[in-house]
């Protein structure tokens, strides 16, 4: 059995943590799966999702509107990932239960980027071509 103190990082740079992460590592250990194997499977899984996303983006007509939406959403997602204090500061500035809700929503890079796409798509609308 491997040492249970090993840490497995996901491709986003976060380690398996909390109750779910501890449970995953415990199940892997009980099943005799090496923690390194679990880490490798995680990398393959996230890589597969990334490739599927790139494949979908390759089929989209990349006009100026779509490029702007994609660039802003990537920027927002990466910004939240690189500056995790953003969500806490946002929650503190808003305050109350609503502030905590907004802080928890915007603490995830995926959620922030996804909401940015939805909001910009709704605001910008489609250009009607004659």
**What is the pLDDT, as a whole number, of residue 75?**
92
**What is the pLDDT, as a whole number, of residue 21?**
61
Extents of the domains making up the chain: 1-59, 61-130
Dihedral of CA 9/56/73/95: which sign? Answer: negative
Q: Based on the number of CB atoms within 10 Å of its own CB, is 35 exposed (0-12), middle (13-18) or buried (19 or more)? A: buried
pLDDT, one tens digit per residue, over 78-120 is 988 888 787 778 777 787 788 788 778 888 888 889 999 999 9
Is the full-model pTM beyond 0.75? Answer: no
DSSP string, 28-96: HHHTT--HHHHHHHHHHHHHHHHHHHHHHHHTS---HHHHHHHHHHHHHHHHHHH-THHHHHHHHHH-H
């Amino acid at each position: 059995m491997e040492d249970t103190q090993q840490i497995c990082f996901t491709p986003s740079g976060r380690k398996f943590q909390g109750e779910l992460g501890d449970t995953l590592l415990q199940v892997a250990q009980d099943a005799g799966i090496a923690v390194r194997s679990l880490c490798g499977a995680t990398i393959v899984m996230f890589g597969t999702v990334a490739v599927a996303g790139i494949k979908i983006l390759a089929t989209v007509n990349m006009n100026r509107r779509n490029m702007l939406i994609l660039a802003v959403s990537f920027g927002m997602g990466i910004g939240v990932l690189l500056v995790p204090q953003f969500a806490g500061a946002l929650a503190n500035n808003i305050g109350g239960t609503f502030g905590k809700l907004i802080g928890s929503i915007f603490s995830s890079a995926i959620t922030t980027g996804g909401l940015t796409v939805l909001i910009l798509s709704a605001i910008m609308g489609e250009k009607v071509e004659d």
